[in-house]
């Protein structure tokens, strides 16, 4: 049975109900089985992301889209394709593909293995990849511990702790800002090398995270920006994090008047005007290109770099060709 439904905004009376219930109502009352199959088949988007959780409770003003065809997982979102750069008993470093969440939402932690396979996180993929390399069952391995994360549409290097020691020691290094984290990004216009310092708050006044000028409020955020390459109408930047606040690079660049190409969230100017992104970026043009830290057990300095993945490399080459 085929289903079609125009995109809709969650109404006040629908807020708080499950995605399955709201979708079923909007579709005119098909069977619960058919609705669950639609959601499991990756045909439903909430906001900008595919949602495969039928029990997710929707919020007022969220936009729900029923896709004509299932949206496949990124090709790299498979444990046998995930690139593992380093593995030992304490840490694992992997290359995160864009389009995959780093960790699972708390509401999804009780999902079965079968359900996780329909919409895996990087944490899932890394654990499965480790099990494959070690020829062990995933359930027989210690769970991966989160010490940092990347946004869903950001690609690049990620480390997970595999022991209590590693979680504690890496957490300490992140808090002391000794972990090397460098990103590549593309922004419109010309932006020179600089350091941006601000204090970030959950709500800057328009419902988005952002900087505040109020003293004693928010958390300090420091981003060191270097010029990598000037492109016709755009700039390829290198951004080194001194602190690692949520969406820090995206916020700092947007507030500087140069939002990351492909960003759909931090796109408003100070006067409320929305930036017009004409870059045709394939996704958020942000990539974690460098990662370095001291091994939590041996104190050896470990360092990795990862070039731009194919989609962003093609994007940059396309911009280079503009004149």
Backbone angles phi, psi at 230, to 5 degrees: -90, 130
Give me the torsion for CA of 312, 313, 318, 323, rounded to 10°. 110
From the list 151, 276, 277, 311, the catalytic residue is: 151
Sequential DSSP letters for 217-274: -SEEEEEEEEEEEEETTEEEEEEEESS--TTHHHHHHHHTT-PPTT-SSS-B-TTSPB
Question: Token pair of 263, please?
Answer: 């960003």
For residues 103 and 123, give the distance between their C-alpha atoms in angstroms, rounded to a whole number. 6
For residues 137 and 126, give the distance between their C-alpha atoms in angstroms, rounded to a whole number. 13
Question: Token pair of 168, please?
Answer: 């504690």
- Strand, helix or coil for residue 35: helix
**Is 88 labeled as catalytic in the residue annotation?**
no
Q: Which residue numbers are catalytic?
A: 151
């Amino acid at each position: 049975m085929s289903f079609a439904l125009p995109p809709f905004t969650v109404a006040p009376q629908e807020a708080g109900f499950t995605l399955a219930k709201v979708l079923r109502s909007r579709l005119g009352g098909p069977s619960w089985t058919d609705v669950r199959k639609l959601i499991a088949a990756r045909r439903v988007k909430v906001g900008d992301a595919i949602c495969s959780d039928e029990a997710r409770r929707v919020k007022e003003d969220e936009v729900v889209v029923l896709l004509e065809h299932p949206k496949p997982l990124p090709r790299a979102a498979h444990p046998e394709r995930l690139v593992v750069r380093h593995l030992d008993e304490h840490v694992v470093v992997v290359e995160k593909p864009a389009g995959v969440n780093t960790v699972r939402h708390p509401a999804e932690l009780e999902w079965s293995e079968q359900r996780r396979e329909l919409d895996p996180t990087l944490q899932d993929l890394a654990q499965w990849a480790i099990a494959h390399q070690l020829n062990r069952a995933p359930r027989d391995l210690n769970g991966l511990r989160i010490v940092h994360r990347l946004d869903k549409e950001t690609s690049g290097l990620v480390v997970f702790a595999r022991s209590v020691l590693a979680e504690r020691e890496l957490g300490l290094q992140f808090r002391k800002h000794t972990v090397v984290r460098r990103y590549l990004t593309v922004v419109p216009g010309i932006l020179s090398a600089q350091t941006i310092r601000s204090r970030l708050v959950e709500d800057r006044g328009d419902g988005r995270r952002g900087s505040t000028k109020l003293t004693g409020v928010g958390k300090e955020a420091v981003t060191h920006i270097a010029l990598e390459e000037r492109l016709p109408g755009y700039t390829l930047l290198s951004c080194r994090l001194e602190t690692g606040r949520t969406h820090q690079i995206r916020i700092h660049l947007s507030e500087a008047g140069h939002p990351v190409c492909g960003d759909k969230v931090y796109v408003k100017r100070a006067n409320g005007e929305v930036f017009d992104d004409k870059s045709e970026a394939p996704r958020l043009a942000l990539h974690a290109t460098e990662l370095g830290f001291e091994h939590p057990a041996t104190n050896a300095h470990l360092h990795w770099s990862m070039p731009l993945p194919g989609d962003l490399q093609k994007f940059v080459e396309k911009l280079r060709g503009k004149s």
